Chains A and B, each alone.
Chain A
Amino acid sequence: AQKVTQAQTEISVVEKEDVTLDCVYETRDTTYYLFWYKQPPSGELVFLIRRNSFDEQNEISGRYSWNFQKSTSSFNFTITASQVVDSAVYFCALRWGNAGNMLTFGGGTRLMVKP
């Protein structure tokens, strides 16, 4: 079975702090894809990153960085120098091998960045 767990339901930080959102996944497939989406208060899901299971290189995009570790089945997301505009719900998702292209989502982490 496929499963994505985001253990942190809510995180509150003060602006300029760094924050890491955890994501742990379960799958039996050797080929799979991991995603992070942001859902701001407006409600629309915004794609942030896609990573396939064969690429364990960490990625940095501006203030965002992602740490993919197959050994611990984790795909954590770090925001450096957080800003109020980062306040949103962040979802980690898994797409696995041959089951079409459907995504299994974690429960989301609500990030609140206070000024």
Chain B
Amino acid sequence: GAGVSQSPSNKVTEKGKDVELRCDPISGHTALYWYRQRLGQGLEFLIYFQGNSAPDKSGLPSDRFSAERTGESVSTLTIQRTQQEDSAVYLCASSLPATQLAGRTDTQYFGPGTRLTVL
């Protein structure tokens, strides 16, 4: 089936502008995650959505970052008043819900990412 898709694949913007990044998760995946990967570094968790529960925003680096998700489908990550340090690849992942009682966790499948360059 189709994997996680993200758009745009590349975004170049000027410092101070707002940007919106989109993620379409795998159908049926109720959990959705955003991560940031700076050049040459590992991934940093940003935000996590699980079904209709309140999102876990603990990884968002500042109040310029926000994300929304409509039901269990598309999510958008918005960065307001972009700064040069926001330049990175923004990766989205989705998974089936973690089932703690069963001792299971479900693998996150990643999209191709959006490369954001802030000039």
Residues of chain A having any CB pair with chain B under 8 Å: 4, 31, 33, 35, 37, 42-45, 47, 50, 52, 54, 91, 93, 95, 97-108
Task: Choose one: A37, A50, A106, A108; the contact of B105 (CB below 8 Å).
Answer: A50
Which residues of B80-100 have CB atoms within 8 Å of chain A's CB atoms?
89, 91, 93, 95, 97-98, 100
Given known A43-B112, A44-B112, contact A102–B56 (CB-CB < 8 A) = yes
Question: Are A101 and B31 within 8 A (Cβ)?
Answer: yes
Q: Which chain A positions have C-beta within 8 A of B115?
A: 43
Interface size classification for chain B: 20 to 34
Give the top 10 A-B pairs by smallest Cβ distance, nearest first. A45-B110, A105-B42, A101-B98, A105-B43, A107-B42, A44-B112, A102-B45, A33-B105, A100-B48, A108-B42
B105–A52 contact, CB under 8 A? yes
Task: Give complex CA distance A62, B91 in Å.
Answer: 28
Contact status of A95 and B56, CB under 8 A, knowing A44-B110, A101-B50, A104-B45? no
Evaluate contact between A101 and B112: CB separation under 8 angstroms: no
With contact pairs A91-B42, A91-B43 given, residues A103 and B108 touching in the complex (Cβ less than 8 Å): yes
Which B residues lie within 8 Å of A108 (CB)? Answer: 41-42
Write out, one digit per residue, whether chain B residues 61-92 have a CB within 8 A of any chain A CB (1) or not (0).
00000000000000000000000000001010
Question: What string of 1s and 0s marks CB contacts (under 8 Å) between B27-38 and chain A?
Answer: 000010101000
**Complex interface: chain A residues within 8 A of B20 (CB):** none
Bound CA–CA A95/B33 (angstroms) = 13
Contact, CB under 8 Å: A54 / B103: yes
Report the separation of the CA atoms of residues A54 and B31 in the bound assembly, to the nearest whole angstrom.
Answer: 24
- Whole-angstrom CA separation of A45 from B3 in the bound complex: 12
Known: A101-B48, A101-B95. A50 touches B42 (CB 8 A): no
Q: Is B8 close to A, CB under 8 A?
A: no
Q: Are B91 and A45 in contact (CB under 8 A)?
A: yes
Closest residue of A by beta carbon distance from B59: A102
